[in-house]
Amino acid sequence: MKINVKKSCCMRVGPRCNANCANLQTSDGPYLPWVSEMRYLGIFIVKARSFSHSKRSFFSAVNGVFGKLLNLASEVVILELVKSKCLPILLYGLECSNLRSADLHSLDFTYNRLFMKLFRTKNIDEVKDCQYFSVLFSQALLP
């Protein structure tokens, strides 16, 4: 298979992300460049010790959904759209990383803010109830 050097690059993510690496050469002869940041499927991946999630892209996608539908569609419809279109942005690549307690707290905070904005509340108990019942409701719709 021929590799397009203009669209391909190399990057390390992990505890040894700053280690010097040998240049990789394709079978055709050109070398692949080493980069510290790249874009893959609309997500920016940055050279780091751990694979981090992208809250900014998630909130941008959520605000796009809210901007079009917040006063027009029900909360159930908006939650389903967010679940299918926005949540994958936030969770992309998490299975590759070791999440620390601070990372889990950050994800929880981000998810809670989504519900606070959708249901127009700042009470965390109400948010937790909304999250609980929205999961039960979506499971009841499954065959």
Instruction: List the chain pLDDT tens, one digit each, 143 residues.
Output: 788 888 899 988 778 888 888 989 888 889 999 998 888 776 677 887 765 557 888 899 999 999 999 889 988 899 999 999 998 888 877 776 677 888 888 889 999 999 999 999 999 999 999 989 887 666 555 55
- 31: domain range? 1-49
Q: Could you give the 3-state DSSP secondary structure of residue 25?
A: strand
One domain, residues 59 and 116: yes
Last residue of a domain, one of 31, 49, 67: 49
One domain, residues 17 and 41: yes
For residues 4 and 27, the answer to whether their CB atoms sit within 8 Å is: no
For residues 45 and 38, the answer to whether their CB atoms sit within 8 Å is: yes
Give the integer Cα–Cα distance in Å for 101 and 39.
27
One domain, residues 45 and 59: no
Query: What's the number of domains the chain is made of?
Result: 2
pTM above 0.85, yes or no: no
DSSP state of 83: I
Task: State the residue for tokens 């999630």.
Answer: 53
Give the integer Cα–Cα distance in Å for 58 and 87.
7
